[in-house]
Structure 1
């Protein structure tokens, strides 16, 4: 008999299933208590379960507005209009208010006039007329509100949201477009460098940072990103030199203090991290859960343990998805962080071969920085049998299929063929090459690797036979790989 059942006639029925309405009503309770971060998290959970519930979507949009997340609010409102209910005309009015708060007056005017045309006597007609009077815009004075400026702010905010959401490829597309349209907007270059780095395009990330620092020397965000890159690749001497240089910087803007403080915390320079993050905290700067996480960590490691616990409790209260392991607690043993993406991918695949699912799950659950591609690859290794129910990215599937083809063909007795294959996969991803024939990429990769070893050589015919393909196909992919290596300078 199940431990959840009983023959007792007085057994109480307890609702264990938490549906969308359960989280929605808990979110509304948090909203009434003015705990907006918690309310937004709970209602987000509700929407995951009921993605087309208009009431939930519109409530979350209003909460975002109150939190000052105007662009996210407008994205939700636009989603409602395009995918759920095009007749919810009040969305246009709410969008107008959000645009006005962002200072995008031309966009606000467009949305307000759309609402006025659709709802002459609508629920918000009076408020909408007042907004139009306030904007006091007409076709002939468009030059007072340059469209390019509005367009830049909208794109910048949207790109930041894509980065924070882990949608790296979409962010890269938008940021690449932005630096063409706005060649001196350095924030876009810095964000693009980060997007490249966390998507595994290390070479492009470094080139982008070098470009910023060459054309805009002393750019603080670029220097902080460079320090993160050095730390990630364990360039200890370079970390020490650059960190020392950054201790002489005295940023005035809150955004710059946050960036500098969080960067110092990430690389373990906790005294300097605490200086800048705590200076913001004392002014009432609330930031987000990431700000609170690094402040708690810096506070603890500089001896301010009571403050660290207070800040941590505040973070957990505001972010119901917060990691339960404090940054100063002993964490479960995890695989050592590898120097390169290739080494990390190799370690993941070898763990899969050994049946070390607990190791892969520990990496997946950890707070350690992982690119979206890495995360998808690990998930695919763990849940390959659920491919029909789960969605995996094209890059993750390609990498897994190529590694499996290599394993089945040659059964490597060391890790180097995998390392070389994942190196080639990174070049393929960076170049945007066709990924449909994963076994052919694996075969060409192995052919180049084995013939680069002094002690062993193989003919194309021998390798093609192992991978069950024609010599012509192998030769084609060998040429493409050689071309990619030459082009990317690796």
Structure 2
């Protein structure tokens, strides 16, 4: 008889990791003073059981000890919205606001704690805090509180594109606090977005002179250099920024986003991935640039995951995914080539150079090619030929036009190329890039019936009215567009 083998079946014991499990792990790490791990476990506990105020409160305490006061306050405010019986949350809020410099808010929550728990566990500490706030809250502190409010207001204006209004507020802050470098950096950004490149660069130069090594200024300088096509300066700045290893999450975030903007997706991915792994709670720009960096580094699934988080915050951006953006750019460039006119093709080639998609969008070799078109193509695709002065001038001038108007004003750039290929037959030099850009934009807008003056364009490009007048006179003789 054959021996029958009996199959041994083990009993399966489910391992359930609920909120309490993660909370207890978080508290254990908190007692060991491993705050990073404590934060990670407590975040998981709060996500699994958001109704548990105790979990959220302990997470807020850890965040506060890590110096992440604003994030701590977000959790505390959520708690008191649904459960104001946890009076200690008012004490923790008061402490956090004091650290943030918002002394009016700190006083408000300290007083609310004393109303609820006059003999509570933190009553003595709260009274001490109120004494300090009462003694120190003089005009200087109140002004500082006011400055922080102005800063948030100005940032909101910046995000809405109301640059002149933001500039006024940033300048007020700087006048009141001459060493408030964050205001200087935001002022530089406002100038740059407004199109006042000269003032933007002057502001950055001033920051770095007075506060050498200011990371935000160095990052902004790199972004400006990227958009201004200052390749040598950009290279040196990236080399310098690669050697920086900041401690704060804010600075790591700034580095990651900066590297993404300038197309160094490898370095951007390194920093943004590290932030995510360390429990960084991202905002919309974080998810946006992380998605772009992940996509360009070949992590499509991760990119899609980050993009979903971004779209949840900005549903109106659906359709601008990094992979779709690339496809749309290629389609648009191909449509420009399909027109088979030299000016549109020159602009199409310019877009190829800006989009880093030369391998996906080859220059069509067709009978309508032009000697300058071929030379421009060699320059864009990076062939090792010394470009002529005309190629360099044309590239620099169209870049200036785009910097001051954005990529959406496409007819201006195609018109510029149309004028340029005719003008080079008779004009030897276009070396005054700002002057030619300002004069051409003036002529273009004037011919379209727009209200524009030479003085307006002179201020925008940092040239004299006389210079614009000189080139306008030349263009009136040569204009064919």
User: TM (normalized to structure 1)?
Assistant: 0.50
1:274-298 CA distance string (max 9 Å, x none): 1111110111212211101111111
CA-CA distance at 1:101 after TM superposition: 5.2
Q: Which residue in the other structure is 2:471 paired with?
A: 449
1:198-221 CA distance string (max 9 Å, x none): 011111000000001111111111
Matched, 1:254 2:249: yes
CA separation of 1:179/1:430 partners in 2, compared to 1, >3 Å: closer, same or farther? farther
Query: Which structure 1 segments of 5+ residues have no match?
Result: 1-32, 35-63, 71-94, 117-123, 356-399, 410-417, 432-440, 457-490
Contact kept in structure 1, 2:167 and 2:190, CA below 8 Å: yes
Quick one: which of 255, 276, 284 aligns to 1:281? 276
1:41-86 CA distance string (max 9 Å, x none): xxxxxxxxxxxxxxxxxxxxxxx9975799xxxxxxxxxxxxxxxx
Q: Which residue in the other structure is 1:351 paired with?
A: 411
1:320-349 CA distance string (max 9 Å, x none): 233422113312427747512477649866
Q: Which residue in the other structure is 1:55 paired with?
A: none
CA-CA distance at 1:192 after TM superposition: 0.7
CA-CA distance at 1:140 after TM superposition: 9.5
Q: List aligned pairs for 1:232-243, cutoff 5 A.
A: 232-243=227-238
CA separation of 1:165/1:101 partners in 2, compared to 1, >3 Å: closer, same or farther? farther
Query: Which structure 2 segments of 5+ residues have no match?
Result: 1-48, 51-70, 78-89, 334-346, 355-397, 416-440
Contact kept in structure 2, 1:175 and 1:192, CA below 8 Å: yes
> Greater relative contact order: 1 or 2 (C-alpha under 8 angstroms, separation 6 or more)?
1
Contact kept in structure 1, 2:260 and 2:289, CA below 8 Å: yes
1:391-411 CA distance string (max 9 Å, x none): xxxxxxxxx9996655569xx
Quick one: which of 384, 394, 399 aligns to 1:339? 399
CA-CA distance at 1:229 after TM superposition: 0.5
1:239-283 CA distance string (max 9 Å, x none): 222212211111111000110000101111111101111110111
Quick one: which of 299, 310, 315 aligns to 1:315? 310
Q: Which residue in the other structure is 1:218 paired with?
A: 213
CA separation of 1:139/1:283 partners in 2, compared to 1, >3 Å: closer, same or farther? closer
Matched, 1:200 2:174: no
Contact kept in structure 2, 1:109 and 1:132, CA below 8 Å: no
Aligned partner of residue 229 in structure 2, secondary structure: coil
CA separation of 1:446/1:350 partners in 2, compared to 1, >3 Å: closer, same or farther? farther
CA separation of 1:128/1:226 partners in 2, compared to 1, >3 Å: closer, same or farther? farther
State how many pairs are aligned. Answer: 301
Q: Which residue in the other structure is 1:326 paired with?
A: 321
CA-CA distance at 1:311 after TM superposition: 1.6
Q: CA RMSD in A?
A: 4.8
CA separation of 1:128/1:192 partners in 2, compared to 1, >3 Å: closer, same or farther? farther
1:441-468 CA distance string (max 9 Å, x none): 99x9975434467979xxxxxxxxxxxx
Q: Which residue in the other structure is 2:180 paired with?
A: 185
Contact kept in structure 1, 2:107 and 2:133, CA below 8 Å: no
- For residues 98 and 161 of structure 1, the distance between their equivalents in structure 2, rounded to whole angstroms, comes to 24
- For residues 342 and 302 of structure 1, the distance between their equivalents in structure 2, rounded to whole angstroms, comes to 28
Contact kept in structure 1, 2:195 and 2:404, CA below 8 Å: no
Structure 1 stretch displaced more, 328-337 or 284-293: 328-337
- For residues 69 and 155 of structure 1, the distance between their equivalents in structure 2, rounded to whole angstroms, comes to 24
Contact kept in structure 2, 1:201 and 1:426, CA below 8 Å: no
Aligned partner of residue 308 in structure 1, secondary structure: helix
CA-CA distance at 1:181 after TM superposition: 1.4
Q: Which residue in the other structure is 2:164 paired with?
A: 169
Q: Which residue in the other structure is 1:79 paired with?
A: none
- For residues 307 and 189 of structure 1, the distance between their equivalents in structure 2, rounded to whole angstroms, comes to 35
Q: Which residue in the other structure is 2:337 paired with?
A: none
Aligned partner of residue 268 in structure 1, secondary structure: coil
- For residues 107 and 285 of structure 2, the distance between their equivalents in structure 1, rounded to whole angstroms, comes to 35
CA separation of 1:251/1:426 partners in 2, compared to 1, >3 Å: closer, same or farther? farther
Aligned partner of residue 323 in structure 2, secondary structure: coil
Matched, 1:158 2:149: no
Q: Which has the larger radius of gyration?
A: 2
CA separation of 1:313/1:188 partners in 2, compared to 1, >3 Å: closer, same or farther? same
CA-CA distance at 1:191 after TM superposition: 0.8
- For residues 219 and 353 of structure 1, the distance between their equivalents in structure 2, rounded to whole angstroms, comes to 36
- For residues 247 and 354 of structure 1, the distance between their equivalents in structure 2, rounded to whole angstroms, comes to 37
Aligned partner of residue 268 in structure 2, secondary structure: helix
- For residues 103 and 131 of structure 2, the distance between their equivalents in structure 1, rounded to whole angstroms, comes to 9
CA separation of 1:293/1:327 partners in 2, compared to 1, >3 Å: closer, same or farther? same
- For residues 231 and 285 of structure 1, the distance between their equivalents in structure 2, rounded to whole angstroms, comes to 27
1:352-395 CA distance string (max 9 Å, x none): 8999xxxxxxxxxxxxxxxxxxxxxxxxxxxxxxxxxxxxxxxx
